[in-house]
């Protein structure tokens, strides 16, 4: 640990010599329909803002889950609502930010981080956390925080996958509907809608969670905020293992969860240094997860382009917008039982 911190101190010295500050990344607009209460504005806090998007994503999935599919327009609506979250780095950043709030609910971990920062200096601790995502896992009480993060990710991923199975089964049942057997003549419009979702200024639906929500609630898996109360007796008891069309490796949990813990640790140290926000911006990225989601989006577009009948859109949503995305957001492949 000392070697890491001494190296971090040297890196901080270099950072201090260079007074430049990178411009903040452009963020999608949010529609918050709950009145803000005392505390920092969610729109001015990158972690809370992104975490709100992740909660909104799962609320959107809840709406899609409960929606009766009576026409191709309903399938179009569901596809568009999911696609806007999959564009660029939105969902990955939101996923990491929300998970970091779960880690923040472990005060012993945060106190240990603060003790180290007080002893070695905040700048040195920030540089160490920012430049070695696995470093946060070395703190004494990191195990409990890591376990909570992994459990929430597992639960959310399972819920997304179950919704995918629901839509895949729907694709078969819709073959009995006359409208669903109609030839899909809107392929160009569908592809144009998927491309439009990549517009960074596109507003995200259902981002209604505020600072007070995140500070007062006991944060758990986002899918638990919107429980499924509708029985689905025709769904398979378990989901078979699925392989993406692209051979995409996953990072070990040590690095991925370490990145999440690092975000929580940086926020625990405080926001009164000029390096904190820059470091958090850097950690709110998972290149392999983002690459995985990019492939899912490509596969979704290819599936839509190749579809001949309306009911096939339900399969495209199931396989590529839900099940593949679930696999991308699964952080426990190498988890030790």
pLDDT tens digits for 287-323? Answer: 989 999 999 999 999 999 999 999 999 999 999 999 9
SS3 15: helix
| pLDDT of amino acid 310 | 93
Nearest of 28, 273, 82, 62 to residue 194 by alpha carbon: 82
Is residue 325 within 8 A of residue 87, CB to CB? The reply is: no
Nearest of 225, 106, 53 to residue 156 by alpha carbon: 225
Q: Residues in the chain with pLDDT < 70?
A: 1-43, 200-217, 228-253, 271-275, 331-337
As a three-state string, the secondary structure of 286-321 is: CHHHHHHHHHHHHHHHHHHHHCCECCHHHHHHHHHH
Is residue 207 within 8 A of residue 31, CB to CB? The reply is: yes
Residue 179 to residues 69, 72, 73, 119, 296, Cα–Cα distance (Å) = 11, 8, 11, 68, 27
| pLDDT of amino acid 275 | 64
Count other Cβ atoms within 10 Å, centred on residue 3: 7
| pLDDT of amino acid 214 | 60
Residue 103 CA, distance from chain mean position: 15
pLDDT tens digits for 101-128? Answer: 999 999 999 999 999 999 988 888 888 9
Between CA 169 and CA 107 the distance in angstroms is 44
Is residue 157 within 8 A of residue 325, CB to CB? The reply is: no
- Give the residues across from 30 on adjacent strands: 204
- Give the residues across from 309 on adjacent strands: 183
Residue with tokens 């259902």: 206
Residues 6+ apart with CB under 8 A from 189: none
Nearest of 240, 243, 244 to residue 295 by alpha carbon: 244
Q: Quote the tokens at residue 80.
A: 């568009």
* DSSP secondary structure, 254-273, as one string: HHHHHHHHHHHHHHHH-S-S
Count other Cβ atoms within 10 Å, centred on residue 10: 12
Between CA 218 and CA 207 the distance in angstroms is 18
| pLDDT of amino acid 228 | 66
Global pTM reads 0.77
Nearest of 30, 26, 44, 145 to residue 89 by alpha carbon: 26
Q: What is the DSSP letter of 183?
A: B
Between CA 123 and CA 118 the distance in angstroms is 10
- Output the CA torsion 114→120→124→129 (10° steps): -40
| pLDDT of amino acid 247 | 42
- Give the residues across from 183 on adjacent strands: 309
């Amino acid at each position: 640990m000392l070697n890491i911190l001494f190296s971090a101190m040297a890196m901080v010295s270099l950072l201090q010599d260079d007074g430049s500050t990178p411009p903040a990344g452009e963020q999608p607009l949010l529609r918050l329909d709950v009145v803000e209460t005392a505390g920092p504005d969610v729109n001015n806090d990158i972690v809370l803002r992104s975490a709100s998007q992740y909660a909104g994503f799962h609320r959107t999935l809840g709406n899609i889950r409960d929606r009766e599919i009576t026409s191709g327009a309903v399938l179009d609506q569901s596809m568009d609502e999911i696609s806007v979250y999959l564009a660029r780095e939105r969902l990955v950043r939101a996923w990491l930010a929300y998970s970091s709030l779960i880690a923040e609910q472990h005060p012993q971990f945060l106190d240990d981080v603060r003790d180290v920062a007080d002893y070695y200096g905040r700048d040195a601790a920030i540089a160490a956390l920012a430049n070695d995502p696995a470093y946060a896992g070395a703190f004494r009480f990191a195990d409990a925080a890591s376990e909570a993060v992994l459990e929430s990710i597992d639960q959310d991923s399972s819920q997304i996958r179950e919704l995918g199975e629901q839509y895949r089964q729907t694709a078969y049942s819709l073959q009995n509907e006359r409208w669903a057997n109609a030839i899909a003549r809107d392929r160009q419009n569908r592809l144009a809608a998927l491309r439009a979702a990549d517009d960074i200024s596109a507003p995200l639906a259902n981002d209604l969670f505020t600072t007070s929500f995140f500070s007062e609630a006991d944060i758990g898996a986002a899918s638990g905020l919107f429980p499924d109360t509708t029985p689905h007796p025709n769904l398979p008891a378990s989901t078979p293992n699925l392989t993406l069309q692209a051979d995409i490796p996953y990072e070990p949990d040590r690095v991925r969860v370490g990145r999440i813990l690092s975000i929580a640790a940086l926020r625990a140290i405080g926001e009164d240094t000029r390096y904190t926000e820059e470091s958090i911006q850097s950690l709110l990225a998972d290149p392999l997860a983002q690459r995985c989601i990019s492939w899912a989006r490509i596969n979704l577009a290819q599936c839509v382009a190749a579809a001949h009948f309306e009911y096939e859109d339900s399969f495209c949503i199931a396989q590529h917008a839900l099940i593949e995305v679930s696999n991308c957001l699964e952080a426990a492949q190498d988890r030790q039982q």
